[in-house]
Amino acid sequence: MVIRNKIKAYFERAHLSVCVLGALLLLYSNYCLAQNQFENPILPGGYPDPSICRVGDTFYMVNSSFEYFPGLPIHKSKDLVNWELVGHGLHRPSQCSGDVNLLDVQSDGGIHAPSIRYYKGWFYIITTNVYHHAQTKTTDFVNFILKSKTPEGPWSDPIVIKGAPGIDPDLFFDNDGRVWYVGNQMPENPNFQGEGEIWLQELNPDNWSLIGERHLLWRGACGGLWAEGPHLYKRNGVYYLLIAEGGTSFNHAVMLAASSSIIGPYESNDRNPVLTTRHLSYDNWVHSVGHADLFALEDDRWFMVALGVRGDIDRGSNMGRETHLVPVQWEKEPFDWKTPRYEWPIVATKTGTIQQLNELPFHNTTQNIDLDFEDEFNGSTLNNYWNFRRVPDTNGFSLTSHPGFLRLFCNKTAFKKRTSYNFLGIKQTQSVFKFEADMWFDPKNKSSEAGIAWIQKDNYYLTFSVSPSNNGLQLELKVKSLDQQDVTTIASKYLEGYQGKIQFKIEANKDEYTFLYKTNHTNFQKFTKTPAHILISKGYTGAHLGPFSSGLHSMSKDFADFDNIFIKCNTLILNN
């Protein structure tokens, strides 16, 4: 009996050792795997419509910014998986106060689908500002160019290209020194609503005016619905025209055509679309993939950046459309009977679509997923990552009134359509995160309000704020949803013993958001909860989170001071 028990104990210990060893081997295997892979999206948060160029061993990428200011965020990278925000193409209010209007632009208007290119020592960005006139119900499509010697700027004032219809332009510098504008427009006689047409015309680089004949190139491959976002490339003497098609939702796709002449005719790739998720389940981890840009590495390997929407919550996410990276391999058509036999880019050769985990482009690198953000406002200028909704009123905020703090004045009503208001936001980059902010607020005017806001649009947001009431100061959580006319109060509480300072905290996971607060030296107290689908992106941009203030009187002397704002993100795969 004793011997049998000893034998049993030995095998139990051995079994435990094997289990521990197995677990350790699994962890080590996952670690090794992570060292050789990167995670998509490579640029988390609302960074749609990516365009990229390479200068030497450095890559530069620009994205759409729509109604936000500063506009046209520019990132750089040496390895394609770690990106640094280095500047914005639109960084001066004067750039956005004329033909390019970001003062009172409508939501989802503004800056659409830029292209970034480098030629003979200059960086160029070409893009569209979409401005709708509410009174006349007409829309301006202002296509313009910015140029700079460095991606950090300063960038030039907008150079408007007269007579260029449509949106999403591309700039192409050919080997013979000629410069071409590639645009989209509605055909003169469309076959159906939403049909798009890609056109080409030469540009005079001395004054950036359109010259010569306009050439109509292509109406798309698979129906031609919303044929837009063109990019033109030249490889081995062949011109390749890449476009987006299907609209920026579940049927989004990337199409390609080729020609031996820049003016066409262009032959559609028989295997279109070359990248899409339209054939996959609506519940795929990413969907709405499209609006891409191709580029080559120094060693002539090719890749593609494209937008996609993560399906974190109810087939969507707060972040909206984000930038992803996929490998590309060129293959020649195998049909002997066909003339000409083009080489075509095969995107994601092993899977045909965007994968969340992928082999690193450069094997001597590691993706460092650090999406945490912290600001104590100790500098004289704002951090690059802060965004305003439209060009801000400089009388609405200050970094010098109380050094070491961000001061927001209660002199404007917040969340009014087509206006700037006193809100600064950073892009939400993950569905799971923690957010905290300290606020000092002692209002004298009953219309004053301050706190933190979580915003998708002027009419789609959530506020966690302090405001005066008949019983003193109250803490409220309010939401404005797209399907409701009025703001709804989710929770409200009188702040007993409030002495001028409050700390806000949000704990977000995939199922729910928890809102907490702390006054004086107490511990954080749970205020309320909401479901996680309350702020899913429904437009072109993703969610922004940050401090705000509001008031009805422009002469109000009330203000709120903010400090110690931080976000700590939980990345989904490699860093878990």
Cis peptide before 154 (omega within 30 of 0): yes
Which among 39, 49, 79, 436 is annotated as catalytic?
49
Contact 316, 309 (CB under 8 A): yes
Mark whether 245 is an active-site residue: no
Contact 69, 390 (CB under 8 A): yes
Question: What does the block give as tokens for 300?
Answer: 């002539």
Print burial letters for 346-362: b (CB count within 10 Å at least 16), e (below 16): bbbeeebbbbbebebbe
Cis peptide before 41 (omega within 30 of 0): yes
Which among 67, 170, 197, 228 is annotated as catalytic?
228
- ∠135-543-101 over CA atoms, to 5°? 35
Contact 561, 476 (CB under 8 A): no
Sequence-separated (6 or more) residues with CB below 8 Å from residue 371:
44, 429, 430, 567, 569, 571
Contact 142, 166 (CB under 8 A): no
Closest of 40, 180, 54, 41 to residue 117, by C-alpha: 54
Read off φ and ψ for residue 114, nearest 5 degrees.
-80, 165
Print burial letters for 236-255: b (CB count within 10 Å at least 16), e (below 16): eeebbbbbbbbbbebbbbbb
- ∠364-296-348 over CA atoms, to 5°? 80
Print burial letters for 91-104: b (CB count within 10 Å at least 16), e (below 16): beeebbeeebbbbe
Sequence-separated (6 or more) residues with CB below 8 Å from residue 239:
232, 233, 258, 259, 260, 261, 262, 266
- Which CA distances in Å does 3 have to 12, 14, 17, 426? 14, 16, 21, 67
Sequence-separated (6 or more) residues with CB below 8 Å from residue 462:
453, 454, 455, 477, 478, 479, 480, 530, 534, 535
Closest of 499, 505, 415, 381 to residue 70, by C-alpha: 381
Rounded Cα–Cα distance for residues 133 and 56 (Å):
43
Closest of 272, 303, 274, 276 to residue 288, by C-alpha: 276
Mark whether 39 is an active-site residue: no
User: Mind telling me the catalytic residues?
Assistant: 49, 228
